[in-house]
Chains A and B, each alone.
Chain A
Amino acid sequence: MESMLHLAAAEIKEPTTAGWILMIGSVSFVVILVGWCFKRVLTADPPIETDVPAGKGP
């Protein structure tokens, strides 16, 4: 039934404005996220301060 519901809504049509926004937004989000992450990893900023002194951890 669920897929039938989707089929009923699914006709052959161009992406709607919402469709374009969701597609471009989703793809852009993952591209920017992965680019930002790898830039941080490869430029290797010095580690931030730890919350716990060495040897006092859990």
Chain B
Amino acid sequence: MSQGKQEWGSRLGVILAVAGSAVGLGNFLRFPGNVAANGGGAFMVPYLLAFLLLGIPIAWAEWTMARYGGAKGFHSAPGVLGVVGRGKVARYFGIIGVLIPLGVYFYYVLIESWCLGYCWEYLKGGIGVPTGADVNAQVAASSAHFAEFTGAATDGALFDFSGATAGVHETSLIFWIITFAVNFFFLYRGLSKGIEAFCKWAMPAMGVAAIIVLVRVLTMDANPQHPDQTITTGLGYMWNPDWEALKNPKTWLAAAGQIFFSLSVGFGVIINYASYLKRKDDVVLSSVTSNATNELFEVGFGGLITIPAAFLFMGLSISAFQDSSFGLGFKTLPVVFANMPGGNFMGAIWFFMLFLAAITSSLSMLQPTLAFLEEALGLNRKVGTFVLLVVGALGNLFVLWHSEGLRALDIIDFWIGTFLIFILATVQIICFGWVWGIEKGIAEAHRGAQLRIPAIFRFIMKYVSPAYLLVIFVLFIGFNVLDRTDDDGNVITGYWSKIWAEDNQVERLALGLISLVAIGLIIATAIGEKRWRAQGLDVDGLKPLDPNVK
């Protein structure tokens, strides 16, 4: 197979690539908002439990299945899951492992380009937040700039090059094109020379940038207009525990969701990346190391930077923004940078760090799809990259055009980037623990391992993780998919109703786009299956592995 030529250059490289995939905007923006909104320090209890019972076990399963599938000659989620899940059903569920990274790429690269664009604007002198004005006016100015930069005012706004905001729209589109091109440049260079080489440079650079921002934030003086708003009271706001929050199912759902989406498990990335490992390469320690790296950026940096810095200038009114990553990252932090000595420099570093976090993730979204195109359709890397470039550009343009209220982005993020991840993770842990068999799965994980999986995880991976996932999934549907009434009697519209609401044509179009892509992937999988059988590959995982496979 054409994909057989791809391999990692070093063990550290694959760990950093997987960690780079996991570390994204959510580490710096979503995590601190989640902590502050869900019990402060008390949030760490369900968070740690979810890390141990969901994140670590599912990651081990994914790494192990991927390496095994790779040894059988498969590098795409449909191929790998077909082998481990022993048949058609698992193989076709595996399509989700291609649909998720591709679908998320449709909007994620746009957010990535905003980060690079903001970095550029800070290098040029900031985004025009009026520092002398009331803090609410500053946030309003920052929010208005964000709306212009993203075209959130109306559909097609970014393509309007007349009027006072034309320059902002041009900047936004130019940085999208640059970001898009950089992604495909590294993708085309291949696994080792492109993605791995980039991540080996980008991850340490991101760490250095995070340390610089952290030191600056922790040494900031109190707000002169509100002397009680200091970095330590900001830390108190974020970390002082509210134990009552643990009685609320929403806290547990938020913690599990944070771990789940942050670690890139059930995303279709690890199952591709780890499939390029050699048979004797360790997966147990490598998996824990990449997860730990993600946690360092999330808890160690995300937990200390974002909310305390924003609190210094905004005080308790920060609570209005903490539920939204965009609100925290693009609306409130620019106010912080505007008021901080040397703020433009720090703003540039901050948004460059976010850009690095995002691009190491977006690269990991392209590679699984490219591997699938090569594997299923027999395309070479050049043609596969071109096909992916066209599909990626069309997806990006769809989201760019339907920019009003970022609704297209939101609906794809929900159904692809959230809902389907639950499904894929469930399929994976069931394949590992039940179809493959937990004893065989653990034995396979231990092949070449530098760390032994504690015996208790046999029970956890077989029973606890699937059950935990199921409970969280039911809660997730109750809170997000279906309409519900909050404690004040307000009806909160769920995502299911949003699809069918009369005015929500964009939501229906977005789902139509996703469906089209899914149909294309189903057809490609059917074609691939025929090719794989013709090549004599063990498509259904029924034969023992050739002992000579390295």
Contacts and interface: CB of A to CB of B under 8 A. Distances in A.
A51 B236 CA distance: 48
A58 B441 contact: yes
Contacts of B248: 2
B239 A3 contact: no
B300 interface: yes
Interface in B436-452: 436-437, 440-444, 446-452
B292 interface: yes
Mostly, the B contact residues are helix
Nearest to A54: B547
Contacts of A3: 37, 319, 323
A31 B242 CA distance: 25
B296 A9 contact: no
A14 B311 CA distance: 12
B288 A37 contact: yes
Given A41-B12, A50-B443, A12 B452 contact: no
Nearest to B544: A55
A10 B160 CA distance: 44
A37 B15 CA distance: 11
A14 B285 contact: no
Interface stretch (B39-47, B375-383, B394-402, B460-468): B39-47
A16 to B, nearest CB: 5
A11 B311 CA distance: 12
A10 B95 CA distance: 45
Contacts of B487: 1-2
Contact of A12 (B39, B298, B316): B316
B34 to A, nearest CB: 12
B447 A19 contact: no
Nearest to B229: A12
B443 A57 contact: yes
Contact of B444 (A19, A20, A41, A57): A57
Interface size class of B (residues with CB under 8 A): 35 or more
Contact of A48 (B39, B40, B303, B452): B452
Contacts of B171: none
A7 B316 contact: yes
A46 B319 CA distance: 50
Given A1-B486, A23-B41, A58-B440, A12 B237 contact: yes
A1 B37 CA distance: 11
Interface string A26-42: 11011101100110111
B11 interface: yes
Contacts of A11: 316
Interface string B301-323: 00110000000000110010001
Contacts of A12: 228-229, 233, 236-237, 315-316
Contacts, number: 170
Contacts of B232: 14-15
Which of A7, A34, A55: most chain B Cβ within 10 A? A34
Given A15-B239, A33-B292, A58 B315 contact: no
B41 A10 contact: no
B37 A6 contact: yes
Nearest to A47: B448
B545 interface: yes
Contact of B285 (A26, A31, A41): A41
A57 B545 contact: yes
A26 B299 contact: yes
B2 interface: no
Which of A22, A33, A55, A58: most chain B Cβ within 10 A? A58
A34 to B, nearest CB: 4
Contacts of B239: 15, 19-20, 22-23
Interface of A: 1-3, 5-7, 9-16, 18-23, 26-27, 29-31, 33-34, 37-38, 40-42, 44-45, 47-48, 50-52, 54-58
The 3 A-B residue pairs with the shortest CB-CB distance in the complex, in nearest-first order: A55-B547, A22-B41, A58-B440
Given A40-B451, A48-B446, A58-B436, 6 more contacts: A6-B242, A18-B240, A22-B41, A41-B450, A50-B448, A55-B544
Interface of B: 11-12, 15, 36-42, 44, 68, 228-229, 232-233, 235-242, 244-245, 248, 250, 280, 282, 285-286, 288-289, 292-293, 295-296, 298-300, 303-304, 315-316, 319, 323, 436-437, 440-444, 446-452, 486-488, 544-547
